Amino acid sequence: MFRRGLINAIRVQPQPLVRSNIAVRYISTDIKNAIDQAVSSTPVVLFMKGTPEFPQCGFSRATIQTLGQQGVDPSKFAAYNVLEDPELRDGIKEYSNWPTIPQLYVNKEFVGGCDIIMNMAKSGELAELLESNDVLIPEELDEEATSATDIKPSDRS
């Protein structure tokens, strides 16, 4: 009887609510200021692995391709390679409180990572967001580029 009571008493011991082995990291002021400046530099900012010309992971490649397909104006776009700077790579995750890269910002607002961007593109939300923030290539310029490429070699003089 006593033994059963002792076992039950052990089972009901309260457990600590917070684990003591959780490490809390804080972003440095220098990195935070650098990221603030980067996010403010252009209306569309992508933190990615690699560069738009040479993405270094499939998620970064998919995100940059989606932005291109949506018609983001290159003059309103900047990309930062997190592989060049380990502090940036860790800092951007803390800055946005988002664990993965790539990360997209539109007009200083965090939009999401690759999975969010892909879902938004499929639903049409990404096109609406980009259009409402005036970051797409203007249609008249887009039409001029298209008509220039539609000219056949024999039509050129």
Q: What is the pLDDT of residues 29-86, one digit of tens each?
A: 999 999 999 999 999 999 999 999 999 999 999 999 999 999 999 999 999 999 999 9
108 domain-assigned: yes
* Segment 120-130, tens digit of pLDDT: 999 999 999 99
CATH number at residue 113: 3.40.30.10
Among 98, 150, 128, 132, CA closest to 89: 98
47, two tokens: 């933190």
Which span out of 5-9, 22-26, 118-122 was modeled with the highest average pLDDT?
118-122
115 within domain boundaries: yes
2 to 7, 8, 114: CA distances (angstroms): 9, 10, 59
The confidence band for 26, taking pLDDT boundaries of 50, 70 and 90, is confident
Task: Decide if 152 is inside a domain.
Answer: no
Can you spell out the DSSP letters for 87-103?
HHHHHHHHHHT--SS-E
